Amino acid sequence: MTRDRTWNRRRLLKLGGGAAAGAALGPVAGAAGATARAGEAAPTAVPASKRFDLTQPSYDLFRHARLHNARVQQSFTFDNVNRRLFVAQLKDGSPDDSGDLCITQLDFSGNQLGYMYLLGFGHGVSIGAQAVGSDTYLWTEVDVNSGARGRRLARFRWNSGATLSNTSSALTKHSPVSDATETTCAIDPVNNRMAIRYLNTAGSRRYAIFNVNEVAAGNYTNRLADFAQPSDPAVFQGYALYGSYVYQLTGTAYSDTNPSPGNAYTSSVNVNTGALTQRAFTGAGSTLTYREPEGMGVYRTAAGEVRLFLGFASGEAGDRRSNLFYKNVLV
């Protein structure tokens, strides 16, 4: 069992959440690769990159941050150019299946800077941010379906205090994967690529990799990779993209049947082969109350250090809090 450890690191950041335990896995037999489907051009390979070692310790960014609403965070994202952080949660007072979201902007100490409401969008499983000059454009799922998930992607400018419906003219909607019935995204801010996790009409859960600027321009023809999400019975809680790997977070909140240190795991998947590369238990934030894994993201500091962030919700019902931890060892 790991233990939380905290001490000052680079003034504002602290070391926390004990060292993750786990081991690297070899390629999974039968993993689906990036192959062309009917009517589509064959995907081109994503340049090979280093990957995060998921067995290395996690460090605190902040703990116990209040969001604009009091419900569990679902995901988060960074605008790496303008140094902004956004966290998504379901909107207070709305039914779980409404697709109504609240997005809170936080500073890197966890203080609130602004918020937006999004009505009829989805569950907020994963969101992305794209810098355009001094503005931030957010990417979210939109057009909530009967399963409370968004069918398409929406791109819109961050406008603190605004409320947008899923029919707002402020949105640009995208369907990069034409046969998707559910669509979310995560952005690699270092390499300017987008991972799209989708459910197709055949009932298959897959990832597709695109260039962010091409998707924003409505050009969906250059699919860099497309592969099946590796099978995992654990509860899926978020994903991120960096280089040639998609990272996944799974697990559930503490309970009588899932006591501390919990069942949160991280994994990495090679986007060019669809093979699971590594899976490791994480004890990040193990002393948190409730502690539900919620969301992943990638950020590069001004000094050039690339970090893989893991999110956890904490606190009591009616007063849930946001907690972010990161890993920074590349191999």
CB 140 within 8 A of CB 129: no
Per cent of the chain over pLDDT 90 is: 86
* Burial of 314 from C-beta contacts in 10 A (0-12 / 13-18 / 19+): buried
Closest CA relative to residue 297, chosen from 261, 258, 247:
247
**pLDDT at residue 32 tops 50:** no
Closest CA relative to residue 184, chosen from 145, 234, 134, 224:
145
pLDDT reported for residue 41: 55
Whole-angstrom Cα Rg for the chain: 18
Q: What are phi and psi of 58, to 5 degrees?
A: -110, 150
CATH T-level topology, domain 8-327: Tachylectin-2; Chain A (2.115.10)
Which are the contacts of 223, defined by CB distance < 8 A and separation ≥ 6? 40, 41, 43, 208, 209, 210
pLDDT reported for residue 37: 52
Residues 165-171, mean pLDDT to the nearest whole number? 98
Domain ranges, ordered by start, for the chain:
8-327
pLDDT in tens, 301-312: 999 999 999 999
**pLDDT at residue 35 tops 70:** no
pLDDT reported for residue 288: 98
**Band of the pLDDT at 43, cuts 50, 70, 90?**
confident
pLDDT in tens, 150-166: 999 999 999 999 999 99
pLDDT reported for residue 87: 98
**Band of the pLDDT at 40, cuts 50, 70, 90?**
low
CA distance 231 to 265: 14
CA distance 299 to 309: 8
pLDDT reported for residue 313: 98
CA distance 228 to 207: 6
Residues 276-286, mean pLDDT to the nearest whole number? 98
Question: What ranges in the chain are assigned the alpha helix state H?
Answer: 212-216
Mean pLDDT of the chain: 90
CA distance 53 to 64: 26
pLDDT reported for residue 296: 98
3-state class (DSSP) for residue 112: strand
CA distance 317 to 26: 40
pLDDT reported for residue 265: 98
pLDDT reported for residue 42: 62
**pLDDT at residue 6 tops 80:** no
Residues 92-99, mean pLDDT to the nearest whole number? 97
CA distance 270 to 279: 12
pLDDT in tens, 201-235: 999 999 999 999 999 999 999 999 999 999 999 99
**Band of the pLDDT at 39, cuts 50, 70, 90?**
very low
The conformation of residue 288, written as its DSSP 8-state character, comes to S
**Band of the pLDDT at 193, cuts 50, 70, 90?**
very high
Which range, of 28-32, 124-128, 204-208, 244-248, averages the lowest pLDDT?
A: 28-32
